[in-house]
Structure 1
Amino acid sequence: MILLVLIASVLIAGVTVYQYKEQSKDYHEVRLERKEDQIKQAIIYTLQRTTYPVTTANLGLIFKDEIYRIADIENVNFNIYDLEGQLVKSSRPKFNNDSISKCLEYHILDRLKNSPDKRYVEDNVAAGDKYQASYIYITDNRFKPIGILNIPYFQDNSFNDMELKEFLMRLGGVYLIMFMIAISLAYFISKYITRSLQTISDKLNQTRLAKTNEKIFIEDTSEEISKLVESYNGMIDELEMSAAKLARSEREQAWREMAKQVAHEIKNPLTPMRLSVQSFQRKFDPADPKAGTKIEEFSKTLIQQIDTLSSIASAFSNFAEMPAQQNETLNVVKIVKLALEIFNEPYIHFMSEEEQIIVKMDRTQLIRVITNLVKNAIQAIPEVSSPRILVSVSTEGELAKISVADNGIGIDDAFRDKIFEPKFTTKSSGMGLGLGMVKTIVENYQGRIDVTSQSGKGSVFTVRLPKVKSN
């Protein structure tokens, strides 16, 4: 709106100036023609009354005194030249008889002669003022040219210039008022429009799939804004329905996957239990002197499988709901040694250059972290000829660092980003919950767990926990 007002004001000012100039030009042309006609009529009247023969040679005698009377009556000075361009008579008493005034230039005579209406007007400048010089033929009674009439006409534009200036000032005042009104209207209209748009923008920025989103209610809006609000509210309804369907679908899928996983893991120990019982029934002889030893071995086998089932149930229970955190002041070196005591594998080694590294953590959960990482390492080296697992504890700045390294099969690059996801596993057995649970425990204590691995050469799991600052 402001730009339109500015463009309109400039265009109208330009057109006004152009119109005034054209009007002034037309006015002076008409006025000059009128002066020419008046003087020409007076000259014809004089030629009709004169007693001298009407010839070029007698023009000076005919207009000797008459030229002053005509100039005084018409209030215009003029000059009379012969057909060769020589000055014959001038109405100016103190005429400066210089060479230019006494003789017309050749181009003036040529253009006057070749003009269709036998009239030529030339624009000149004298003392910084513009003036026009009109040239027309003086004819006798038989319309034969006998001389040339020259009328200098000075253009006085002071009145028109003053009128133009006043008009432009008035026009400028009007457009200044319009400009101020345009600014005010633009401000209030933009505020009215952007108020609604800002509300919509804020709501869009707050829209989330995982939460309940509020609808927009705006009163007294334009039709376009109202349609936009209706579209947004409709989108919110569809979004909530989609979110509900998605959540329900994800829950159902999760339960289906969990049920499949639980069923699969429970079947794994049941098969060897069934085979053990069938073998015991078929081969057991009460009279055998080694019957007691066989019963003991059979019992151990069943107990191991029962423990496996128990660990499966515990793993799912622990993953679903972690125990409440108990912030205890623990010596990591001591707890890691304690956790390794349950393992009998000779290839598990422990190393620590420090006797004491203190952290605040739940003892049971720290043991669970170490146990799961070592179990994963054991499961990664079943086919290695010289298996080795190294568990090390050290200090890294303000962190306690626990590393579990093995020389097992390693982890492919394609699986490295997924190993901490629940239910993900690359093993033929196992629930895929151990590393997910370990990551949850470590992060709950503001720590982090990383893994570096090379397929076929082994893996290193590193846990970093914040140390307790010593006084």
Structure 2
Amino acid sequence: ACVFDAGGQILGTVGVLRDLTEQVATQRRLIQREKLASLGEMAAGMAHEIRNPLGGIKMATNLLSSGAVDDRRISQEMAQSIMSGIAEIEAIIADLLDYARETRLECQEYALGRVLAPVVEASTAEAARRGVRVEAVRLDDELVAAVDGPRLRQVFANVVKNAVEAAERTPDARVTVTLYRRHAAAVIEIVDNGVGIEPEHREKIFLPFYTTKPTGTGLGMAIVKKIMDLHGGEIDIDSVPGRGTTVRLVIPRSPVPAAVEVG
């Protein structure tokens, strides 16, 4: 601040200096603590997911090595159980690497309906076996956006798979997929009439290894959010427990760089 004399002339200035060293150090400690807590949660989640198939592998291996199983058919079943457990662990590791690794988008102009249609078609047969009807209500074939097609297809597949699993065992179980324009964005809407999401779970579904399902790694929606963030998109979720869930994937239609690299 300036200091003036009686005639209004500036005599000098007065300033106040504050030492923020301790405040900055405290903020850094808090950030580090949050990072460690997040890492701890991820490690605990991964350990839990891997421990389950490892338990089955250990039990089958012990039985085979003990010589207690002399029935060839049972031995083959045990060996198959071991292979299934290994495949499950490999899937967990693959999902974790996909989530953690540096991701580079290769974007080009895609008709979003053509990206989405194969996902709907591929999920129809598996959903039918679960008693769920999957249908595309409206897919705008002329709706174009600059996206990474394979990555975006991965997003669609994850969300549709979750919707099918949520609707399973529901009377008249169904999942509907719609693609439409909203201002300068494209919206992919996936609606199911399944169990819905409880409010206390809604904010956690994008956390790595967080899941309320008996199977799955809990990384699917974390990967979905990562890919959508890279595209500059948004995910809106409306859900009513016992009535179903609506997921809206909002993707900007404005051109984006041909290659976007994010760590």
Interval containing the TM-score (normalised by the shorter chain): 0.7 to 0.9
- Please give the alpha-carbon distance, in whole angstroms, between the structure 2 residues aligned to 1:411 and 1:373: 14
Are 2:111 and 2:144, in contact at CA under 8 Å, matched by a contact in 1? Answer: yes
Aligned position for 1:320: 100
Q: Which has the higher contact order (CA 8 A, sep 6+)?
A: 2
The reply to whether residue 245 of structure 1 matches residue 29 of structure 2 is yes
Deviations 1:3-47 (A, max 9, x none): xxxxxxxxxxxxxxxxxxxxxxxxxxxxxxxxxxxxxxxxxxxxx
In the alignment, residue 310 of structure 1 is paired with which amino acid? E
Residues 329 and 361 of structure 1 are in contact (CA less than 8 Å); yes or no, is this contact kept in structure 2?
Answer: yes
Task: Confirm or deny: 8 A CA contact 2:196 2:245 kept in the other structure.
Answer: yes
Q: How does 1:280-359 map to 2 (within 5 A)?
A: 285-286=71-72, 291=73, 295=76, 301-340=81-120, 342-343=122-123, 344-346=126-128, 347-351=132-136, 352-359=138-145
State the SS of the aligned residue for 2:33. Answer: helix
Alignment-derived partner of residue 259 in structure 2? none
Query: Equivalent residue for 2:164?
Result: 378
Gaps of 5+ in 1: 1-179, 197-224
The amino acid that maps onto 1:345 is A
Query: Partners of 1:341 and 1:278 in 2: how far apart?
Result: 43
**2:233–2:250: 8 Å Cα contact kept in structure 1?**
yes
Of Structure 1 and Structure 2, the greater strand share is in: 2
**What is the rounded CA distance, in whole Å, between the counterparts of 1:428 and 1:398 in structure 2?**
39
Shift of 1:315: 1.9
TM-score (norm 1): 0.45
Query: 1:369 offset after TM fit, Å?
Result: 0.5
Within-5 A mapping of 1:25-44: none
Structure 1 partner of 2:6: 182
For residues 284 and 389 of structure 1, the distance between their equivalents in structure 2, rounded to whole angstroms, comes to 47
Greater displacement, 316-325 / 390-399: 390-399
- How does 1:60-459 map onto structure 2 within 5 Å? 182-184=6-8, 187-189=9-11, 192-193=13-14, 196=15, 225=16, 229=17, 232-233=18-19, 236-274=20-58, 285-286=71-72, 291=73, 295=76, 301-340=81-120, 342-343=122-123, 344-346=126-128, 347-351=132-136, 352-459=138-245
Partner Cα separation in structure 2 for residue 382 and residue 322 of structure 1: 35
Partners of 1:278 and 1:438 in 2: CA distance: 39
Aligned residues between the structures? 244
Change (3 A) 1:424 1:183: farther
Secondary structure of the equivalent of 1:359?
strand
1:363 and 1:448 map into 2 onto residues whose CA distance is 17
2:260 alignment counterpart: none
Give 1:436's aligned amino acid.
A
Equivalent residue number for residue 135 of structure 1: none
- The CA RMSD over aligned residues, in Å, is 3.3
- Residue aligning to 2:261: none
Aligned equivalents of 1:275, 1:431: Cα separation in 2: 22
- Contact (CA 8 Å) 1:334, 1:356: kept in 2 or not? no
| Superposed displacement of residue 325, structure 1 | 0.7
Q: Distance in 1 between matches of 2:86 and 2:5?
A: 89
Aligned letter for 1:350?
Answer: E
* Structure 1 stretch displaced more, 392-401 or 320-329: 392-401
| Helix, strand or coil at the partner of 1:443 | helix
SS at match of 1:401: strand
The one-letter code of the counterpart of 1:330 is Y
Aligned CA distance change for structure 1 residues 414 and 181 (closer, same or farther; 3 Å) = closer
In 2, the alpha carbon distance for the partners of 1:255 and 1:388 equals 37
Alignment of 1:9-28 (within 5 A): none
Q: Relative to 1, partners in 2 of residues 1:421 and 1:244: Cα closer, same or farther, differing over 3 Å? A: same
Q: Which has the larger radius of gyration?
A: 1
1:259 Cα deviation (Å)?
1.9
Q: How far apart, CA to CA, are the structure 2 residues paired with 1:361 and 1:396? A: 17
- SS class of match (2:103): coil
TM-score (norm: length of structure 2)? 0.76
Partner SS for 2:40: helix
Distance 1:301 1:356 in 2: 47
Cα distance between partner residues in 2 of 1:380 and 1:453: 11
Give how far 1:241 is off: 2.4
